[in-house]
Structure formats: C-alpha cells, structure tokens
Structure 1
Amino acid sequence: MIQDIFGALAAILTTLSFLPQVLHTLKTRDTRSLSLGMYSIFTAGVACWLVYGIMLGAWPIIAANVVTLLLAGTVLIMKLRHG
C-alpha cells in the first residue's frame, strides 16, 4: 500500500514539474535558454513510456505520461516555433 502511495506521488510530482516551464514559456514566448536537444530526447522518451504503459495496460503509467507528453510537447513546439 505505501509503495502505491509513493509511486502515485512520484508520478504526480514529476508530471507536474513541467507545468511552471510551460506556463512561463506560453506567457513570455522566450525559449532561447531552453535546450532543443533535451526537450526532443525527453519528449521522445515520454512517448516511449506512454507506448510501454499502453502495452502493459498500466493506467498509472499511461495517465502520467499522457499529461507529461502534453506538457513537454508544448514546450518543444514552442521551442521549434520561437527558437
């Protein structure tokens, strides 16, 4: 039981860790200091985690990575558009 709580907490915190960057990037449109390589690789990795979760039918993995993919993908798109 305690493992599930820590797992859920870890998923929530790591997923939400992108929210401040997304909000800041949407507000300022300033992506100069963000690494395109990092966001490209990270977003691809999250997409792989999502596929893995779908293959396992593991809803916690799916849910966390859908949200993370949307958040990180938003920053990646902004970086591609605004350099």
Structure 2
Amino acid sequence: MNATELFGFLAATLTTVSFIPQVIQVWRSKQTQDISLGMYAIFTAGILAWLVYGILLESTPIIVANSITIVLAGSVLAMKLKYG
C-alpha cells in the first residue's frame, strides 16, 4: 500500500466514523425532528454515487468508506422516516 492509499484510508476513516455519534444518538433517543430529511436523502444518494464511482475506479478506500457510510447515513435516514 502506497502513501496515497494510506492517506485515502485515513480520510475515509475520519469521514465515515463521524457518522457513528449521530447514529447512536438517534438510535437511543428516537428523536429526529431536528434532522433534515432532504439533506439525508440527497446525501445518501450522493454516497451511493461515490460508491459506484469507487467501484468503477477500483479504488479500495472509496469503496470501503462509502460502503460503510451508506449503511450509517442510510440508518439515520431510515430512522428519520420511521420516527419522523
């Protein structure tokens, strides 16, 4: 693994892990009224596009990060739809 890929994994890890506190907060509180449905819907679609892009490039950091992020962001989106 070269320095570029290592830096990519660092960036991917930081941006992906940043969603964990939000998922935990919503999971525990079941409160979603202050979360924007539009933002999470657009963001999740964007993450899906990044995932497809990473697959097309065969870029492991992009694929791994966006696979995990889509699960995390999708979880918040699903809880927003469920809990309103």
TM-score (norm 1): 0.92
What's the CA shift for 1:2? 4.1
Aligned residues: 83
CA–CA distance in structure 2, aligned partners of residues 62 and 7 of structure 1: 11
1:1-83 residue pairs with structure 2 within 5 A? Answer: 1-83=2-84
Aligned-partner SS, 2:31: coil
What's the CA shift for 1:12? 0.3
Gaps in structure 1 of 5+ consecutive residues: none
Aligned-partner SS, 1:32: coil
CA–CA distance in structure 2, aligned partners of residues 75 and 4 of structure 1: 29
Q: Which of structure 1's runs of 4+ aligned residues deviate more than 4 A?
A: none
CA–CA distance in structure 2, aligned partners of residues 18 and 73 of structure 1: 10
CA–CA distance in structure 2, aligned partners of residues 5 and 62 of structure 1: 14
Aligned-partner SS, 2:62: helix
State, as a whole percentage, how many aligned pairs show the same letter.
55
